[in-house]
Amino acid sequence: MNFTNSLTQWYLQNKRDLPWRNTTNPYPIWLSEIILQQTRVAQGTPYFLSFMAAFPTVFDLAKADEEQVLKLWQGLGYYSRARNLHKTAQYVASELSGVFPNTYKDLLKLKGVGEYTAAAIASFSYNEPVPVVDGNVFRILSRYFDMETDIAAASAKKEFAALAFELMPKDNPALFNQAIMEFGALQCVPKSPNCGICVFNSSCAALQKKKVDQLPVNSKKLKVRNRFFNYLVVSDDNENTIIQKRIAKGIWQNLYEFPLIETDAEKDFDYISTSIQDEFFKNNELISVDECNGKSVIHKLSHQHLHIKFWKVKVKGTIENGMDATTLKSFPFPIVIFNFIEMN
C-alpha cells in the first residue's frame, strides 16, 4: 500500500472531530486557520467556538469594535493575528460583499493569510489541489523519504511542496491535506514519536536508518531577546488606577497595560522609586511604592523573554483618567497582566 493510501486510511480511523471540519464554508475555515497559527488545537478550539458564537458571519466580525475582538482573543498571543483577522473581515464584508476569494492565488492577497493558510482554505473550501506545507509536512516527508534538505533554506518550501503535490490525489486534495496535518499533530510528533505503532514503521526511511530524531534538518536558531518590564499599579484615594494603550508596533499593539518603566536589567526598589518621582504623577504626591512580586514573572514569547515586575504605587488625591476595578477588567490586556489583575 503506498504512502497516500496508508496516510488517508490512518486519518479516517484516527481523526479528531473538530468543529471546523464539518463544513466547506470558507468563513469558519479561515477563522480556524488564523486561530490555529502558532496555537495547539486544544487551546484554539474554545476560542474558535467563542468567535463563532459572537460573530456567526464575516459581517458580524466586520462590524465589531477592534477592542471587542482583542478582548475575545485575550490569552491566545500573537495579537497581530487578531488585528489582521478584523481588517480582513472588514475587507471581505465591504469590498467583496462577504464572499471569500475562491482561489489560492486570490486568498493570498488577504491580510494575515500566508501560503499555508491560503492552501488550507483553497483545498478545504474549494477542493483546489494545493498542498499545505508547514512544520508537520516538513517533518513527515523529511523522515519518511530521508530528506536532508535544510528547512531553513529558501528553496526548501518549494521542494517539499512539489513532493506533497505529487503525492496528493488531485480529486480529493482536502482529505490529503487534513490527513498529513493530523498525522503530524498526533503521530509523527517532533520529539519521541511512538514509531512502534506507526503505520509507516516498515517503510519510513528515517526509522530504518535510526535518524528520526535528526530530521528535519533545521539550521535556523532562534535568537531570544531579554526585556525587563516594571509595571506601575497605581492606586489613588478612591482606589482608582490608570492604564495606557500600547500604540507602537511590536508586541501587544493596541492592548492595554499599566504605566511602564522598561529597564536594561532587573532593577531594585530605589531605582524604581526615583524613576517614578522623576517621570510620573507630577500632579499627585507619592505616598508609597511596594513590590508586588519579589521575583520577576518570566513571560516567554517566541523571540523575547519578558521579565516582569509589578509595583504598587499609592498616590494622594485623584488621578486623572482613573478607573475602578470593574471598568479595568473590560479592557483587552496581555494575558500576563490580565492574570495579575484577576489575582489582585
C-beta of residue 31 within 8 angstroms of C-beta of residue 85: yes
Is 33 a catalytic site residue?
yes
CA dihedral 310, 315, 319, 325 (to 10 degrees): 50
d(CA 69, CA 143): 40
DSSP state for residue 217 in the 8-state scheme: B
d(CA 117, CA 170): 19
C-beta of residue 282 within 8 angstroms of C-beta of residue 320: no
C-beta of residue 277 within 8 angstroms of C-beta of residue 198: no
One-character DSSP codes across 254-294:
T-EE--EEEESS---HHHHHHHHHHHS-TTS-EEEEEES-S
Q: In sequence order, what are the beta bridge partners of 304?
A: 225
Q: How many residues does the chain have?
A: 344
Let me know if 137 is exposed, middle or buried by CB neighbors in 10 A (0-12, 13-18, 19+). Answer: buried
Active-site residue (options: 33, 128, 182, 257): 33
d(CA 111, CA 100): 12
Residues labelled as active-site residues: 33
